[in-house]
Amino acid sequence: MQYHLNGFRPGDPDIFPPAPDPARRNGPDGLPEKVDVLIAGCGPAGLCLAAQLARFPEIATMIVEPKPGPMEKGQADGINLRSMEMFQAFGFADRIKRESCWVNETTFWLPDPARPDRIMRAGRVQDVEDGLSEMPHVLLNQARVHDMFLEVMRNAPSRLEPDYGLAVADLRVEPEAGDHPVSVTLERCLPGSSGERRIVRARYVVGCDGAHSTVRRAIGGTLHGDAAHQAWGVMDVLAVTDFPDIRMKSIIQSAREGNMLVLPREGGYLVRLYVELDKLHENERVSERGLGVEDIIARAGRILRPWSLDVKEVVWWSIYEIGHRLTDRFDDVPEGEVASRLPRVFTAGDACHTHSPKAGQGMNVSMGDTFNLGWKLISVLTGRARPELLRSYSAERRAAAQALIDYDHAWARLVSAPPEGEAGEMPAVQRQFIAGGRFTAGLTVKYARSSIIGAPDWQGLAEGFEIGARFHSAPVVRLADARPMHLGHVVETGVKWYLFAFAGAGDPFAPGSPLVRLCDRLENDPRSPLRLFRRPGEDIDAMIDLRAVCQQGFRELEISAAPPLLRPAKGRYGLIDHEKLFCADLAGGRDIFDMRGIDRERGCMVIVRPDQHVAHVLPMEAHEELAAFFGAILRVP
């Protein structure tokens, strides 16, 4: 990370100085009359969005939560590869890696053919195939993920804190109301003030308020789908057992007692068990069965035979019914008015899609929703982009949610199904697990062609950076200090776009080389997007951050010979930024040009969005196309 640009500041660089004049203005009751963004719900989706907005004190942000304080335990625990990459952009991936339980291997258990009342290990597989990401698949209490986002908010210039004990009771969109067209009725939920109501006006509202979302209902959204009519129990326990795979992710299918998932948790001792319970009748609700934690423990013990299970402490438990539901739209714009009306209200997470926890995608996809929305809201509210940008949220994320619903529908039924296959064969659930590995890692999301996703005309120049998919990082060596690192780790959460220039064959710094011509054009042409879209007094990389990657080893190049744009003077002292240039890591099998299929002769430009997705691939000489792409999205100050 970079800091001290505008003067030395001691202490933790992740704690920013408080903004002297943040945009939010509270009244005598501690609540504002107006805000730019009001977020309903302090789950992973809401906190992910709030953490992004918190770094922009000029945006008045409010996040409300009916509960009296932060979550402490329970709920989701799976963090896939894509979410870990996102956490890297926030700056806390390393802390998650240190605390969490890493999932390295998954084992599969079936009834023993010789004694069907007992289970036996029938297969095992590496949990994540090599090369998908530099990040691990991990398990960690959702509350700790919340803590990370809350810390980012608390340390941000706005010092944003949730308003606990407040729920959205209703909202109305009133287009004639000017800059703050959404009227939000908030209701106090805590003892002593319960039932008191207050209206706050907002420019935008984001409903992250769960499957029973008030925000979704207020804009006419409905969840459509079905239920599997199957009760499952889940519990986090401290237990003594001789089951050999208690510290492995395990999928167990018994002959008569149902199925179970074993998920080891952080700390080395805690474990989560998902336990299949009873079938439900067509119109029966799981609450009508009167099931409790004792039923979960008893069923888990029977499934594990011949292994024992002695539960010493139940940390958290719940019983639920599997359902797969998706809302018809993710914002407040009716289908027939998409071209004529801009969205003001959005939904995210469980408010617009629900599914089983079997594939471990709930928290991940919810955070993916607001990681997609956050930079768009910030760009619009800070005047960096046109409001039409916000239309892309519903289109991009509803497609991603539909893919999840389709996958989870099949996976949940397979996990709940009786064991299949002959003795010695790979279990059906193992075959499906392997086939769906990239999906459950969160790496199959690919956004369709739009104003912010370019055409695939030049995809062949960088086949491993698929347009619309997330930027698949690879090792490089930073030229200035010979530091080995991952190129994708330079992308930080915010509104900044990244332009990676991969130099072609020959000396990249020679006069007239494609890289030198590109830098000259971007630095000096009045139509350059680097110049056109930054504000007076801002650094050259304030909105579009150019980085170059060369094919040579770091000892073969001199940074002093690089174009000035790759050694820009920044900040009030005009200090030189030495972190724009990278070389291929020529250690065995780690050359980024080979790993990502980059055309060595021609090189290319790769445009990466603030949410780490590849927006476009262009030839090095496509200066006009580069300017046109950004010109369709960004606003000239």
- Check pLDDT > 60 for residue 283: yes
Alpha helices in 242-311 (DSSP H): 293-303
Q: Which residues contact 443 (CB under 8 A, 6 or more apart)?
A: 81, 82, 132, 133, 469, 470
User: Pick from 280, 236, 285, 286: which is nearest to 262 by CA?
Assistant: 236
As a whole number, the mean pLDDT across the chain is 93
User: Pick from 271, 280, 277, 309: which is nearest to 293 by CA?
Assistant: 277
Q: Which residues contact 226 (CB under 8 A, 6 or more apart)?
A: 323, 324, 325
Q: What is the pLDDT of residue 17?
A: 96
User: Pick from 462, 477, 500: which is nearest to 553 by CA?
Assistant: 477
- Choose which CATH entry (2.60.120.260, 3.50.50.60, 3.50.30.30, 1.20.140.10) describes domain 34-76+141-223+327-407: 3.50.50.60
Dump pLDDT digits (tens) for 495-522. 999 999 999 999 999 999 999 999 999 9
Cα(280)–Cα(267) distance, integer angstroms: 36
Cα(489)–Cα(94) distance, integer angstroms: 12
Run of H or E including 109: strand 105-112
Domain segments of the chain: what residues? 34-76+141-223+327-407, 101-137+227-320+417-436, 456-631
CATH superfamily of 456-631: Phenol hydroxylase, C-terminal dimerisation domain (3.40.30.20)
Fold annotation for 101-137+227-320+417-436: D-Amino Acid Oxidase; Chain A, domain 2 (3.30.9)
Q: What is the pLDDT of residue 329?
A: 86
Cα(533)–Cα(631) distance, integer angstroms: 9
- Check pLDDT > 80 for residue 288: no
3-class DSSP state of 468: coil
- Check pLDDT > 90 for residue 42: yes
pLDDT above 90 coverage of the chain, percent: 81
Task: Tell me the backbone φ, ψ of residue 505, rounded to 5 degrees.
Answer: -65, 155
Cα(108)–Cα(120) distance, integer angstroms: 9
Q: What is the pLDDT of residue 618?
A: 98
Average pLDDT value for residue range 349-363: 80
Q: What is the pLDDT of residue 592?
A: 98
Residue 99: pLDDT band by 50, 70, 90 thresholds? very high
Average pLDDT value for residue range 309-328: 90
Q: Do domains 101-137+227-320+417-436 and 456-631 have the same CATH topology?
A: no
| Residue 107 CA: distances (Å) to CA of 245, 301, 408, 509, 592 | 8, 18, 20, 52, 33
Alpha helices in 468-583 (DSSP H): 514-524, 529-532
Q: Which residues contact 580 (CB under 8 A, 6 or more apart)?
A: 546, 547, 548, 566, 567, 568
Contacts for 394-397: CB closer than 8 Å, 24+ residues apart? 394/329, 394/330, 394/331, 394/333, 394/343, 394/346, 395/448, 395/450, 396/372, 396/447, 396/448, 396/450, 397/330, 397/348, 397/368, 397/369, 397/372, 397/373
Residue 398: pLDDT band by 50, 70, 90 thresholds? very high
- Check pLDDT > 80 for residue 227: no
3-class DSSP state of 481: coil
Residue 472: pLDDT band by 50, 70, 90 thresholds? very high
Residue 358: pLDDT band by 50, 70, 90 thresholds? low
Q: What is the pLDDT of residue 328?
A: 86
Residue 606 vs residue 174, higher pLDDT: 606
Residue 109: pLDDT band by 50, 70, 90 thresholds? very high
Between 95-104, 378-387, 410-419, the lowest mean confidence (pLDDT) is in: 410-419
- Tokens standing for residue 341: 């009306």
Residue 440 vs residue 253, higher pLDDT: 253
Pairing verdict, β 497-502 and 604-608: antiparallel
For residue 136, what is the DSSP state? P
Average pLDDT value for residue range 7-29: 94
Cα(75)–Cα(40) distance, integer angstroms: 18
Q: What is the pLDDT of residue 292?
A: 93
pLDDT above 70 coverage of the chain, percent: 96
- Tokens standing for residue 262: 């074993």
